Chains A and B, each alone.
Chain A
Amino acid sequence: MSGKMTTIEELSELAELAVKALAKKGATDAVAHAQLGDSRQVKFANNKLASHSTWSSAGIGLFASFDRRIVSTTVREHTKGSVEKAAAILQKLARAVEPNGEFQGLAEGPFKKGREAHYDKSLEEPGDLGVEIVEKAVEAALEEGGKRTAGVFEFETGQEFLATSAGARLGSKSSGCYFSIRALADGEASGAQSICSRTLKALPIEEAARRAGELAAMANRRARLRARGIRRNMGAASARGNTGHSWKRGLCVLC
């Protein structure tokens, strides 16, 4: 273990080196994408903390085309030697690959950098943020009629650098957060909400949790009414299909 921490500047230099090394090996197109970041997840179930996870990762993804022979790899040892070795491996690999006629090459410049994406610095050093947010969300869902809750709150920050043989160079910082909750009432009745955003400020977590609890309560009422109706009409109870789903600004991930 070495004490030194990898920086995005070091990875960016290696990405530049990778594009040059691939060109030297005969690549007609080359892309190097360096990334460095941290992400965290607070997972909860049965209204309790299930686990708190932290991920820290760094890598340089390489993509190359040797006359439309497309190959890729990831460099995870961040040294000049590893980058040069990876370029040599890709060159060798490309010899075994047939040209892909559908690949039309990389877009050529000039490139203009667009608007900086929203970045939330508060997610870099979150302290007790994740646990506090989940605690409030669980309370909100229970207040609206959920009996049990489960879900995740995830957030991440990262730095990236992209270099291509077509001249694109882009460095950026990004942040993101995601909240997903399933509130369960009696039986099979439940409500789910999933939301995501670049910044925590724009993520209405409590509102989503309340809505999940509300949907669970509605599904539960519907199940009870339906069961009564079915018993009256058919003499048998069934409570299938009483799951309420809703989502905003993101995908519903309930399966």
Chain B
Amino acid sequence: MDEDIAQKAIAKALGLGASYAEARLMEWEDSSLVMKNGLLEATGVDRGQGIGIRVLAAGNAGFAATNRLEEGNIARIVEEAVRAAKRASAKLGAGLRFSDEKPAKAKCKVKPKKDPRNVDFEQKVAALKAIDSAALEGKAGKSNVPARFMSYGDAIVRKHYENSEGATISSEMPLTEFWYSLTVVDGGESMQHHRSYAATAGFEAMAGWELEENARQQVASMLRTMREGVTPPRGPIDVVLSPELVGIAVHESCGHPHEADRILGREAAQAGESWLKKGMLGRKVGSVEASIVDDPTIAGSAGYFLYDDEGVKARRKTLMERGHVKGFLHNRETAAQLGTTSNASARASGYDKEPLVRMSNTFLLPGDRKSTEELFEGIALGIFINTFMEWNIDDRRWNQKYVGNEAYLIENGRLTRPVKKPALEITTEALWSGLDARTNSIELYAGSCGKGEPMQGIPVTMGGPHARFRNITLGK
């Protein structure tokens, strides 16, 4: 990467009167496959580069990005970014500033064990075909799994970040992703399961995910649910959630509302706002068991990074501690607005996107129970939800619904029959206040978190331990 480009762009912006400037150069090589019912539908390879420049001038923010790295073009768009920031009228002027941060200088690199660029395309296709075949094995015949979609993607991404305060950070990271959706039909009913996998790793990640076994298990589970499943009891009952369910609830009801740009209304027309308001630090919204963190420093995870896209050093953030709101996710803009410092939560999905406040790896901390059986003990009638089919949540992240896919009745402390589509429909406070026990280990599940306009999908994980929630009334 020609780092001079970044330096020249910053110098140009400062020369035009910007009080602050930063540049993010990116270069990537990637490949992707999409398979539908065993047939490769699309394949692609790509390599590219681009630069994003952000400036502050006259208290307003300007952003410019291009993949046309000609000097004349970069000068042109930098001029426009500075001019646009300066010309914001008296009425629209935002008076923006960034929090003070120590400029970092660092180089980070994650070396994949199996560099995806050196893996034959045939091998990638074969991996997908094996998963597709596994979904059709066992009791399920082709007619039982009529729709099987899967996609695979890998990338090597190099970034170079610089700002006018002296920060200089270069990184090179691999990313491998896989996603599937399986629709199973039986006796006039249908069920669908989808799951994402992603890691800051090379092609070796695919083997570690045990995808064939998972596909086989999910199909078998859906068939069993359709054939033997019972209607869920309405409650109030006790509910045990798997790490996958805990993860989606953590991400949606706790992670998103702790994003300070949502709290401050900056994303009101796009991602939405938050049930949290800026004066709510310390408010009790859950039981003492509810401690939730966001941690980008977990090596190998999909949400891994050591410096965020504003050059701030990554760290673990506690969002909820023993049921109390502990802290928000900040970038430098929101931190300055709320009189604090950034906690390195600024992420951009590409060189051409402005960094927004984002999650990384968000999870409920583990508890002290040694097994899920310990959580089931003492439950006369309850439900265990292992995977989900769908979910939705309002724009402030207060009212939400998660519909189970693989779920079982708990009767007298033991799992018995499968349950059809239990719907956990609840408010954020009621959910986290009902939490009374957690197992002592966690699992993280990958996802692509969407936010912004233009939409920015970024790799994250979400999860936690198995967790028990008391006296929950299930929805329809």
Query: Which residues of A are interface residues toward B (Cβ below 8 A)?
Result: 1-6, 41-59, 70-74, 76, 89-90, 92-93, 95-98, 100-102, 128, 130-132, 134-135, 138-139, 148, 150-152, 180-182, 184, 188, 192, 240, 253-255
Q: Separation in Å of the B208 CB from the closest CB of chain A?
A: 23
What are 11 A-B contacts defined by CB distance under 8 Å?
A6-B70, A42-B84, A50-B61, A51-B63, A57-B67, A96-B120, A100-B41, A135-B89, A135-B92, A150-B269, A180-B453
Residues of B within 8 A of A74 (CB): 46, 48
Query: Which residues of B are interface residues toward A (Cβ below 8 A)?
Result: 2, 4-5, 8, 39-49, 60-74, 76-77, 80-81, 84-85, 87-89, 91-94, 120-122, 124-125, 264-272, 352, 354, 395-396, 399, 453-454
Q: Separation in Å of the A90 CB from the closest CB of chain B?
A: 8
Q: Are B268 and A45 touching (Cβ within 8 A)?
A: yes
Q: Are A72 and B266 touching (Cβ within 8 A)?
A: no
How far apart sit A180 and B269, CA to CA, in the bound complex (Å)?
A: 8
How far apart sit A153 and B87, CA to CA, in the bound complex (Å)?
A: 16
Q: Are A3 and B72 touching (Cβ within 8 A)?
A: yes
Which residue of A has the minimal Cβ distance to B38? A98
Assuming the A-B contacts A56-B76, A73-B44, are A128 and B87 also in contact, with contact meaning beta carbons closer than 8 angstroms in the complex? yes
Q: Are A58 and B68 touching (Cβ within 8 A)?
A: yes
Q: Separation in Å of the B67 CB from the closest CB of chain A?
A: 5
Q: Are B265 and A46 touching (Cβ within 8 A)?
A: yes
Residues of A within 8 A of B64 (CB): 53-56
A131 partner, pick from B72, B87, B265, beta carbons under 8 A: B87
Residues of B within 8 A of A54 (CB): 62-65, 77, 80-81, 84
B84 partner, pick from A57, A130, A152, A188, beta carbons under 8 A: A130
Q: Separation in Å of the B70 CB from the closest CB of chain A?
A: 5
How far apart sit A71 and B66, CA to CA, in the bound complex (Å)?
A: 26
Residues of B within 8 A of A52 (CB): 60-63, 81, 84-85, 88
How far apart sit A96 and B31, CA to CA, in the bound complex (Å)?
A: 13
Residues of A within 8 A of B269 (CB): 45, 150-152, 180-182, 192, 254
How far apart sit A48 and B60, CA to CA, in the bound complex (Å)?
A: 10
Which residue of A has the minimal Cβ distance to B396? A188
A1 partner, pick from B2, B43, B125, B267, beta carbons under 8 A: B2
How far apart sit A139 and B44, CA to CA, in the bound complex (Å)?
A: 47
Residues of B within 8 A of A6 (CB): 68, 70, 73
Residues of A within 8 A of B121 (CB): 92-93, 95-97
Which residue of B has the minimal Cβ distance to A98? B40
Q: Are A72 and B84 touching (Cβ within 8 A)?
A: no
Residues of A within 8 A of B88 (CB): 49, 52, 131
Q: Separation in Å of the B358 CB from the closest CB of chain A?
A: 16
Residues of A within 8 A of B61 (CB): 49-52
How far apart sit A45 and B268, CA to CA, in the bound complex (Å)?
A: 7
A4-B70, A57-B67 known, 5 other contacts, Cβ within 8 Å: A52-B85, A54-B84, A55-B66, A97-B43, A150-B267
B43 partner, pick from A44, A49, A70, A135, beta carbons under 8 A: A70
Q: Separation in Å of the B187 CB from the closest CB of chain A?
A: 29
Q: Are B70 and A5 touching (Cβ within 8 A)?
A: yes
Assuming the A-B contacts A48-B94, A100-B40, are A150 and B265 also in contact, with contact meaning beta carbons closer than 8 angstroms in the complex? yes
